[in-house]
Amino acid sequence: MAANSTPIHRVACIGAGTIGASWAAYFLSRGLQVVVSDPAPGAPDKLRGMIERAWPALQHLGAVPGADPTAWRFEANPVLAVEGVEFVQESAPERYDVKKALLSRLDAVLPPEVVIASSSSGMLISRLAQGCRHPERCVIGHPFNPPHLVPLVEVVGGTTASRASVDTALAFYRAIGKHPIEIRKEVPGHLANRLQAALWREAVYMVAEGVASVADVDAAISEGPGLRWALMGPHATFHLAGGEGGMAHFLHHFLPAMQSWWTELGTPTMTPSLQTALVEGVREEVGGCSVAELAARRDAFLLELLELRRRS
């Protein structure tokens, strides 16, 4: 991962839940000065524990020389927390009323050139920025969980952010080792979550129709195309499927069949019985493994996968 090479060195993390704390740990590993704000009781202790748990992985990934996991400051008042910072990463609860009020408060005290990036997983930035004096500085900077490991960040400017703010956010994330992508048109759910939702809709439909069990539906991805998707996305994958002729050959030979499958894709109704089937199916699939244990296994696997990608 690259060290931070932008003029941005002081960052505020507003919100220190699962996402905000993970962001804080990552920013620290990049050698940034970090101030964190969260109104929850015991927030500093929870944040400290999360950073301590994440730090070995961040060192493995290549924390910059001199990066210090204790070099953060906590300020309960978000308005005071952003004083003197050069970039704001907001990770408050996913509610329009909460985020709009918070962004308005931050916007009122920050210099107009400071970008406010919201970690929102699906909200419209043009709506979140309503009430701000400088809506042009507000963007979506949506990470994928856990942010301290997964490289992707979706940057959305929508109809209100300036080109300069979008470019600043893209450059900042890129400089600290993330893989930012620009979402050029504002849509609910942005891009990656919509792709996930589309796949999960069909996965749920396959369970509802009795085509396969929950575990086998999951295995159909994790033991098959998911392995390829760790390296390249669906378009590049199908380009390879076309052989020497690439995507053009794939479209010529496989598009008719693919389009016929599209017409058969389902829209399941989430009845109580179907929800129960999904819950029980996942319980059987994980075999008694706790959420914490699953998350630890996931993170360990992600570390190895990221290392393999870096070598290749």
CB 89 within 8 A of CB 11: yes
Note the pLDDT of residue 310: 85
C-alpha dihedral over 134, 145, 193, 260, to 10 degrees? 160
Query: Residue 116: what pLDDT?
Result: 98
- The backbone region for 84, taken as left when phi is positive above 0, alpha when psi lies in -120 to 50, beta otherwise, is left
Query: Residue 312: its pLDDT value, please?
Result: 79
Place of tokens 């924390």: 63
72: left (phi > 0), else alpha (psi -120 to 50), else beta?
Answer: beta
Q: Report the alpha-carbon distance of residue 104 to residue 94 in Å, rounded.
A: 16
Q: Which domains does the chain have, with CATH numbers?
A: 10-183 (3.40.50.720), 192-311 (1.10.1040.10)
Question: What are the CA-CA distances from residue 187 to residues 2, 124, 137, 151 (Å)?
Answer: 31, 7, 19, 22
pLDDT tens digits in sequence order for the chain, 312 residues long: 445 556 899 999 999 999 999 999 999 999 999 999 999 999 999 999 999 999 999 999 999 999 999 999 999 999 999 999 999 999 999 999 999 999 999 999 999 999 999 999 999 999 999 999 999 999 999 999 999 999 999 999 999 999 999 999 999 999 999 999 999 999 999 999 999 999 999 999 999 999 999 999 999 999 999 999 999 999 999 999 999 999 999 999 999 999 999 999 999 999 999 999 999 999 999 998 999 999 999 999 999 999 998 887
Name which of 278, 275, 237 is nearest 258 in CA terms. 237
pLDDT score recorded for residue 1: 45
Residue 115 carries which side chain, given as an amino acid letter? Answer: V
Q: Which of 189, 193, 26, 221 is nearest to 122 (CA)?
A: 189
Q: Which of 243, 242, 240 is nearest to 231 (CA)?
A: 240
Tell me the backbone φ, ψ of residue 142, rounded to 5 degrees: -85, 115
- Do the Cβ atoms of 1 and 57 come closer than 8 Å? no
pLDDT of residue 7: 86
Specify burial of residue 201 (Cβ count, 10 A radius: 0-12, 13-18, 19+): middle
35: tokens are: 């101030």
pLDDT reported for residue 311: 85
Distance, in Å, from the CA atom of 109 to the CA atom of 10, rounded to the nearest integer, reads 16
pLDDT for residue 6: 62
Alpha-carbon distance 251 to 255, whole Å? 5
- Cα–Cα distance measured from residue 52 to residue 255, given in angstroms and rounded to the nearest whole number: 50
267-276 as b/e: b if 16+ CB within 10 A = ebeeeeeeee
Instruction: Give CA angle at 263 (221, 254), nearest 5°.
Output: 65
